[in-house]
Amino acid sequence: MSAELAPETTAEAVPRGRAVRRALGRYLRHPGLSLGLFVLVLLSFVAIAAPWLAPHGPTEADLMNTLAHPSGDYVLGTDQYGRDILSRLIWGARISLEVALAVVALSLTFGSLIGAIAGYAGGWLERTMMMGNDILLAFPGFLLALALVAARGSSLENVILAVSIAYTPRVAAVMRSVVITIRPRPFIEASRAIGMSSSRVLLRHVLPNALPPVIVVTTVSAATAILAEAGLSFLGLGVQPPTATWGNIISDGQGFITSNPLISLSAGLCIAITVIALNLLGDGLRDTLDPQMRRYTGERML
Amino acid sequence: MLRYTARRLLLMSITVIGMVTVVFFLLRAIPGDPASYMLGDYATEESVAALKAELGLDRPVWEQYLGFVKRALTGDLGTSVVTGQPAFDEVLESIPWSAALSVSGIVIAVLAGVPLGVMSAVRHGTFADLFIMFGALVGISFPVFWVGLVCILLLAHEVRLFPALGASSSTDFFTQVHHLMLPALVLGFSVAAYIARLTRSAMLEVLGQDFVRVARAMGVPERRIVYRLALRNALIPVLAVIGVTFAWSLGSAILVEAVFSRPGLGSMILKAVFARDYQLVQAGVFVLASAVVLVNTSLDIVYGWVDPRVSVS
């Protein structure tokens, strides 16, 4: 009975399996979060199974059927080289999710380390690190990514690297602002009092406790990464054609927007659905993980 | 207050010097030899050597860096390899185009985003709230260049309300405004979505505070609570948000300019990237980023005037 009323206070008395299930239930009851998660799982499946799902190869040109309208053979029609749009969209999901995953992994690792060290160390180290961080933050993220790709050359690796460099300072800023609220808490003081080394306190106690807001930020950064990759590809600076990416498909269709609007429209919808799913997941995680952290996650990610 | 303003200005100058540093290393991020990269595959040995000497690539890095900072702070950002004009002059030429687009986009975004965010917070949990928030989610999730393409398709080709091109060579003011309208609306729509979301959460936070509850208990009319108490307090974070969205909107403006073939800083940078005119890219990136810092610093100072608590802390 008491377990029903106050699950938090008796969580330790409840067997671990049930506690986990209860926590999962709390997340899944959030409509936005579960919808976002469902769409992302589905997209990941499509991306992984692309070679088997796609009816044609992504760069397979059928020169007899260029700019074909939707038919039984080409469900969404073909582009100016006679490539099947549906197959290209399916393969494009791979690139988008790859970029999102890689950018999240890189910016989460480096951003949270930089932010945590700065926030935990304090003093001149914090001031210098945050100065550098603020300088990078002053650049519009997309502009910085564009300039880096322009310098390093256009390839998938460089796009991932550039977008990660552009968005890592945002993760670092959020991490630092969370860590400075954790640093003065008694359990940190206690760990230091029993003689734990700084790096151990940082890795074992500060980082895990600061993670929830940072996870929310990285969900949003995955969304921005997908938009940034699409934008770069659209401008011709991202992953180079003929590789199928959603941004490339929109760019291919741009010239035929009046006669074959489906090419650009369908690719744009794919991007939007993925980004909406990531934003729903991010909003949902924010509501369920810690409702108080609204303040510093929303504004920082732009 | 004066001290606060001085501190902000000092911070701004440090940031600008830091940005010069980042921009300096952007050119050095080019793999191999920047000079031969910029001149392309058909460059002669002499022209590469000449450009190298001009860029100072034959001297040690720290010397190059100091020289670059010194020149950048006096407004000398190198010369464009393509036109031979000073890069800074080329940048100055495209600033009015970009400023017109960004300012009109932000104005549209604030005029639409703030009221929608307030409405959504006041009617928290109702159908109207859900509807507005869904619209805002769509606004931040669709790629801005795609929204631009769809608008061209619908509003320039199907219904001929606006021209498909974002600029015209005519000097007539109204023709220019007519060409600007669609790009500004597209940019404004995506920025408005952000502003609406952030206004809503700022407003909800204020509406949940004790002084609002006290005012309600004392029988202050709801309209008065919303507009006199809550909105005024929520506007402060919203002001800060507008500064942040400004930086973001400049990034989107590059894409909007590309879709509408509109001249501006973004198109200039893009053109320079494809022409490998890297000094022009540097100059453009530096000026865009400086604009962001300038706007944010002025907003910070205004922020300090409006809310004395800020300058004290």
Residue A229: give its domain's CATH number. Answer: 1.10.3720.10
From chain A, the residues in CB contact with B141 under 8 A are 223, 272, 275-276, 279
Q: What is the ipTM of this complex?
A: 0.86
CA distances from A93 to A268, B79, B186 (A): 12, 42, 26
Asked if residue A49 belongs to a domain, the reply is yes
Q: What is the pLDDT of residue A11?
A: 43
pLDDT surpassing 70 at residue A245: yes
Beta bridge partners of B79: B86
Asked if residue A206 belongs to a domain, the reply is yes
Residues 6+ apart with CB under 8 A from A117: A125, A129, A202
Residue-wise burial string across B14-31, b where 16 or more C-beta atoms lie within 10 A, e elsewhere: ebbebbbbbbbebbeebe
Helix intervals (H) in chain B? 2-28, 34-39, 45-55, 61-73, 87-122, 127-141, 144-151, 173-207, 210-217, 222-224, 231-259, 265-274, 278-306, 308-312
Which residue's structure tokens are 């322009």? A150
**CA-to-CA distance for A233 and B114, rounded, in angstroms?**
32
Residues 6+ apart with CB under 8 A from A207: A112, A116
Burial of B44 (0-12, 13-18, 19+ CB in 10 A): exposed
Name the B residues in 219-248 with CB < 8 Å from any A CB.
237, 240-241, 244-245, 247-248
Test the A interface: residue of B15, B27, B145 with most A CBs within 10 Å: B145
pLDDT surpassing 50 at residue A298: no
Is A143 close to B251, i.e. CB distance below 8 A? yes
Each domain of chain B, given as residue ranges in start order, spans 2-73, 87-306
**CA-to-CA distance for A120 and A117, rounded, in angstroms?**
5
At residue A229 the predicted structure's pLDDT band, cuts being 50, 70 and 90, is: very high
Q: What is the pLDDT of residue B136?
A: 92
State the residue range of the domain holding A210.
Answer: 32-65+74-301
Asked if residue A181 belongs to a domain, the reply is yes
Q: What is the pLDDT of residues A145-200, one digit of tens each?
A: 998 888 888 889 999 999 999 889 988 988 888 888 888 888 888 888 888 888 88
**CA-to-CA distance for B119 and A129, rounded, in angstroms?**
40
Q: What is the pLDDT of residue A5?
A: 42
Asked if residue A277 belongs to a domain, the reply is yes
Name the B residues in 62-81 with CB < 8 Å from any A CB.
none
Q: What is the pLDDT of residue A7?
A: 43
Instruction: Say what the pTM is.
Output: 0.86
Q: What is the pLDDT of residue A254?
A: 86
Asked if residue A224 belongs to a domain, the reply is yes
The class level of CATH for B87-306 reads mainly alpha
**CA-to-CA distance for B280 and A88, rounded, in angstroms?**
36
Is A295 close to B29, i.e. CB distance below 8 A? no
Asked if residue A50 belongs to a domain, the reply is yes
Asked if residue A27 belongs to a domain, the reply is no
Local confidence pLDDT in tens for the 313 residues of chain B: 788 888 888 888 888 888 888 888 887 777 767 777 777 777 777 777 777 777 777 777 788 888 888 888 787 777 787 777 888 888 888 888 888 899 999 999 999 998 999 889 888 888 888 899 999 999 989 999 999 999 888 887 777 777 777 676 677 778 778 888 889 999 999 889 988 988 888 888 888 888 888 888 888 888 888 877 777 777 777 777 777 788 788 888 899 999 888 888 989 999 888 888 888 888 899 888 888 888 888 888 887 777 766 665 5
Q: What is the pLDDT of residues A2-47, one digit of tens each?
A: 334 444 444 445 566 676 676 667 667 778 888 989 999 999 999 8
**CA-to-CA distance for A288 and B73, rounded, in angstroms?**
48
Q: What is the pLDDT of residue B166?
A: 67
Is A150 close to B289, i.e. CB distance below 8 A? no
Residues 6+ apart with CB under 8 A from B298: none
From chain B, the residues in CB contact with A300 under 8 A are 244
Q: Are A264 and A80 in contact (CB under 8 A)?
A: no
The residue in chain B having the minimum alpha-carbon distance to the alpha carbon of residue A127 is B11
Contact of B141 with chain A, judged by CB distance below 8 Å, is answered with: yes
From chain B, the residues in CB contact with A298 under 8 A are 197-198, 201
**CA-to-CA distance for B265 and B93, rounded, in angstroms?**
9
Report the half-sphere exposure of A29 (CA within 13 A, side-chain side). Answer: 8
Asked if residue A22 belongs to a domain, the reply is no
From chain B, the residues in CB contact with A146 under 8 A are 254, 269, 273
**CA-to-CA distance for A87 and A60, rounded, in angstroms?**
9
Contact of A261 with chain B, judged by CB distance below 8 Å, is answered with: yes
Beta bridge partners of A78: A84
Average model confidence (pLDDT) across chain A: 82
Is A279 close to B269, i.e. CB distance below 8 A? no
Contact of B143 with chain A, judged by CB distance below 8 Å, is answered with: yes
Q: Are A300 and A109 in contact (CB under 8 A)?
A: no
Residues 6+ apart with CB under 8 A from A299: B198, B237, B240, B241, B244
A293 or A256, higher pLDDT: A256
Tell me the percentage of chain A whose pLDDT exceeds 90.
19
Kindly report the number of other CB atoms within 10 A of residue B258's CB atom: 22
Q: What is the mean pLDDT of residues A113-140?
A: 87
Is A231 close to B247, i.e. CB distance below 8 A? no
From the list A152, A257, A275, the residue facing B29 with the nearest CB is A152
Chain A to chain B Cβ contacts (< 8 Å): 140
**Of all helices (H) and strands (E), which one includes residue A169?**
helix A156-182
Q: What is the pLDDT of residue B45?
A: 78
Q: What is the pLDDT of residue A81?
A: 79
Q: What is the pLDDT of residue A15?
A: 62
At residue A232 the predicted structure's pLDDT band, cuts being 50, 70 and 90, is: very high
- The total number of structural domains in chain A stands at 1
pLDDT surpassing 90 at residue A101: yes
